[in-house]
Amino acid sequence: MKALEARFLSIHSQIAAAATAAGRSPDAVTLVAVSKFHSASSIAALAALGQRDFAENYVQEALSKQEILAHHPLFEQMIWHFTGPIQSNKTRAIATHFSWVHSVDRPKIAERLSAQRPDELPALKIFIEVNLDGESTKSGVTLAQMPEMLALCQRLPRIELVGLMAIPAPTSTDAFVRLAQILAQINANLPAPLPMLSMGMSADFIAAIAAGSTHVRIGTALFGAR
């Protein structure tokens, strides 16, 4: 517990310092704790320290943890993000059990999430995942596909498009700046600008914040090695 608390406080301190250095408010950056492969008890421990946003990459793992935590006194305050690749047969569970989805990478997924989001829940907040460098091993919308994907996500009901997400190649040192520039270009032609960028993980979140990230997805640096 002491080690987890120390890492939690250190990450928050680093986020605050990076935001301040970039002329931004630390409150403009949300720490999303990537809890995949970590226990429900670790999630509960972080929640007790004040963490509220948790991300999972695998649906069944997430549902199992949510079931374990369902009676935890802080469960209703926990905000669940889905950040992994999305299979078509998992969209109903994602639409039902998560509040945010960072990895919407093709029209079919956006359409299914919209159609399957329960009416009694608030609109599902989504990021479009962008394949910045055209990597064949990664999911994501290409820049050529972006206009069609934007138009689709903005007209679908039950989902709310909030911004862009990317997982850049390790050697792509300017990727965060490029994604921020892409969002700025998109926003120049929208009546209501998209306000968010989901970018930056344990090894590179400082650079992501400097480029304008609003959501950093941190696992190992927060939870420790698995």
CATH for 102: 3.20.20.10
- pLDDT value at residue 170: 79
Q: CA-CA distance, 73 to 57, in Å (whole number)?
A: 24
- Each of the 226 residues of the chain gets a pLDDT tens digit; together they read 699 999 999 999 999 999 999 999 999 999 999 999 999 999 999 999 999 999 999 999 999 999 999 999 999 999 999 999 999 999 999 999 999 999 999 999 999 999 999 999 999 999 999 998 777 677 899 999 999 999 999 999 999 999 999 998 877 779 999 999 999 999 999 999 999 999 999 999 999 999 999 999 999 999 998 7
Q: CA-CA distance, 57 to 45, in Å (whole number)?
A: 20
38, with CB counted inside 10 A (0-12, 13-18, 19+), is: buried
Structure tokens at 40: 């429900």
Q: What DSSP letter does each residue of 149-190 carry, written as one string?
A: HHHHHHHSTTEEEEEEE----TT-TTHHHHHHHHHHHHHTT-
Q: CA-CA distance, 77 to 58, in Å (whole number)?
A: 21
Q: What DSSP letter does each residue of 201-215 carry, written as one string?
A: -TTTHHHHHHHT-SE
Q: CA-CA distance, 214 to 196, in Å (whole number)?
A: 6
Q: CA-CA distance, 157 to 134, in Å (whole number)?
A: 29
What is the separation of C-alpha 47 from the centre of its chain, rounded to a whole number of angstroms?
A: 18
- pLDDT value at residue 45: 97
Fill in the amino acid letter for 176.
F
Structural domain that includes position 218: 2-223
DSSP conformational letter for 105: -
Structure tokens at 155: 């007209």
- Tally of domains in the chain: 1
**Residue found by looking up tokens 């930056």 in the block:** 200
C-beta of residue 111 within 8 angstroms of C-beta of residue 152:
yes
